[in-house]
Amino acid sequence: MQTTTSNSAEPAIAQPAPIKRLLSLDTLRGFDMFWIMGGEEVFHALAKTTGWAWAILLADQFTHPSWNGFRAYDLIFPLFVFMAGVSTPFSIGGKLEKGADKSQIARKIITRGLILVLLGVIYNNGLFVKALQDTRFPSVLGRIGLAGMFAQLIYLYAKPRTQYIWFIGILLGYWAAMMLIPVPGCGAGVLTMECNLASYIDRQLVPGHLYKTIHDPEGLFSTIPAICNALLGIFAGTFLRTHGKTGNQKALQLLGAGVGFVVLGWLWNFVFPVNKNLWTSSFMLVTGGLSLTLLAIFYWIIDIKDIKGWTFFFTIIGMNSILIYLAGEFIDFGYAARFFFGGLLKLSASEVVLEVGGVLAILAVKWVFLYFLYRKKTFLRV
Q: What is the pLDDT of residues 301-352, one digit of tens each?
A: 999 999 999 999 999 998 888 898 988 888 888 888 888 887 776 666 677 7
Give residue 129's pLDDT. 72
Q: Is the pLDDT of residue 20 over 70?
A: no
HSE-up (13 A, CA, CB side) for residue 251 = 16
Residues 6+ apart with CB under 8 A from 183: 190, 195, 196, 197, 200
HSE-up (13 A, CA, CB side) for residue 237 = 29
Give residue 331's pLDDT. 86
Tell me the percentage of the chain whose pLDDT exceeds 70.
Answer: 93
3-state helix, strand, coil in the chain (%, to 5): 65, 5, 30
Residues 6+ apart with CB under 8 A from 139: 117, 120, 121, 123, 124, 218
Q: Is the pLDDT of residue 19 over 90?
A: no
Convert the pLDDT of each residue in 39-89 to its tens digit: 999 999 999 998 899 999 999 999 999 999 999 999 999 999 999 999 999
Task: Find residue 187's DSSP bridge partners.
Answer: 183
263-289 burial by CB neighbour count: b if 16+ within 10 A, else e? eebeebbeebbbbbbbbbbbbbbbbbb
Give residue 152's pLDDT. 97
Q: Report whether 198 contacts 147 (CB < 8 A).
A: no
* pTM (whole model) above 0.75: yes
Minimum mean pLDDT range among 172-186, 256-270, 324-338: 324-338
Average pLDDT for 277-288: 98
Confidence of residue 8 (pLDDT cuts 50, 70, 90): very low
| 136: helix, strand or coil | strand
Task: Domain ranges for the chain, please list them.
Answer: 23-330, 336-376
Average pLDDT for 182-188: 95
Please state, in angstroms and rounded to a whole number, the distance separating the CA atoms of residues 236 and 300. Answer: 14
Give residue 348's pLDDT. 66
Convert the pLDDT of each residue in 86-104 to its tens digit: 999 999 988 998 899 999 9
